[in-house]
A and B are shown apart, each in its own frame.
Chain A
């Protein structure tokens, strides 16, 4: 990881739902940090707790335990009004571009709102200039797109609007929850490249949440593999994916569609034949952390 201080960090955060016997531990003592100009990927299957992590960051859930740190200080204990600064600095791009835009409002409305709320000092003309600039950034033509309603746009265009909306208030952190999973394969790459460009040009810290390891490799310098609310393996992307040590990571990797292997051939011996064992054992609480290499760690699966 880089030496810069993290913009945003989770420090041993836990969150569970339900009661007593049917308790679901969606986040179990998770810790990670986001740095400017870097993307951290959070991968795992559905129900592993990825979106819970995003919601904890967005302050939609309060942690049961642990702290959320913004520029090193706990988010809840800041001075009055600090949450507003936090909400400006941390923006989210949602999974479903068909339901995350309001169908009765134009694109212009979607981009004006965040500016009115977070930069009330901007005059009409300045605001229009800011909107045009952000649309150009996401490679859309402002004159054509501003008067349109969401239903007049394709999925890829809508997702670009979602990204533009997030960028409009000059954020420092972008939380992107499966931003391409609802899009057609042929437009996914465009959105990923856009996120990569924004990260580089604007020095954004990005948390990229996905179940698609191949796209994670494409955008992220660092990666975390999550299962049953626990981060089981994490570190530099090339190290984790090139030399996966946790059985669950290896299971995920062997299940990724790969045209170089027929269905009967697998990447790792036997991981797919002991899916149930790996699932059961990986779900057990494990506080021990083992260092595999510089910036590559696992929580060993109990035998």
Chain B
């Protein structure tokens, strides 16, 4: 078996408070294999986004990563990198689609400039070459190349989301982190975007860390799933096992709290 793309060992993150520290992530370990779609689920405040921010080293005080934590990305020790090496890591090795990514584009720059910004900074590409590359990337996410001259407000929410994903794929990262990438979109658009990412993953071979609280959606797209509760990873298993034979009581309760369509196990019975 080949080495995992991402390997997290004993990760602990605390938010330092005046009276007491908040243990947001407690001793979490998991790996993501090359080309794997890994889901991280749990309710708000359970620490899933904190893990994503730790991997990309975007955590700022009062958050601190406790010593003894280890994050290896493609064999490199992420926690030991200086800022120059981090610059090299972000976008190229790992790219992140933020929650409400549709609002993470700069409103006063055209789509083309936002591609150019990433491509020039990391590869020194010329404007002409960047334009051609950006057009290719937009086609990957089903957006006509003539929209390069558009501003973010001229695109729908779903299109903006797809532009962000295209920018994230610009440098062929090995790991794509998606933090609740589709929660602000409606189901049809959400479905189209996830199908698209899944197909691109198969073509380009990157791994995905997918964070959401929508368990049903997660089972549909993920290979393996980790369930988080109050900073701890309480269960990691194949997606189908998480769905059909969850071992942890919390996983079972999460399922019981979700009304579902076309299933006899609807919450009408499980809810009370």
Contacts and interface: CB of A to CB of B under 8 A. Distances in A.
Given A255-B191, A257-B216, A263-B194, A193 B272 contact: yes
B267 interface: yes
Interface string A241-258: 100000000011111111
What DSSP secondary structure best describes chain B's contact surface?
A: helix
Contacts of A261: 220
B194 A214 contact: no
B67 to A, nearest CB: 32
B93 to A, nearest CB: 26
Nearest to B191: A255
A184 B187 contact: no
Nearest to B183: A181
Contacts of A189: 257-259, 267, 271
Nearest to A46: B186
Interface residues of B, number: 36
Nearest to A266: B191
Contact of B217 (A218, A241, A257): A257
Contacts, number: 94
A252 B188 CA distance: 6
A255 B216 CA distance: 12
A257 B187 contact: yes
Interface in B138-188: 157, 186-188
Contacts of A218: 259, 266-268
Interface string A126-168: 0000000000000000000000000000000000000000000
B272 A185 contact: no
A177 to B, nearest CB: 15
B257 A185 contact: yes
A112 B207 CA distance: 54
A217 interface: yes
Contact of B215 (A256, A259, A272): A259
Contacts of A65: none
B192 A214 contact: no
Interface size class of A (residues with CB under 8 A): 20 to 34
A263 B220 contact: yes
B219 interface: yes
B43 A45 contact: no
Contacts of B125: none
Nearest to A183: B44
A45 B188 contact: yes
Contacts of B268: 218
Given A257-B187, A257-B217, A241 B243 contact: no
30 contacts: A45-B186, A45-B187, A45-B189, A184-B43, A185-B43, A185-B214, A185-B257, A186-B253, A189-B258, A189-B259, A189-B267, A193-B272, A213-B261, A215-B259, A218-B259, A241-B262, A251-B188, A256-B261, A257-B191, A257-B214, A257-B216, A257-B217, A258-B216, A258-B220, A263-B194, A263-B198, A267-B262, A272-B192, A272-B195, A275-B188
Interface of A: 45-46, 184-186, 188-189, 192-193, 211-215, 217-218, 241, 251-263, 267, 272, 275
Given A217-B261, A252-B187, 12 more contacts: A45-B186, A46-B186, A186-B253, A189-B258, A213-B187, A218-B268, A241-B261, A251-B188, A258-B216, A258-B261, A259-B216, A272-B191
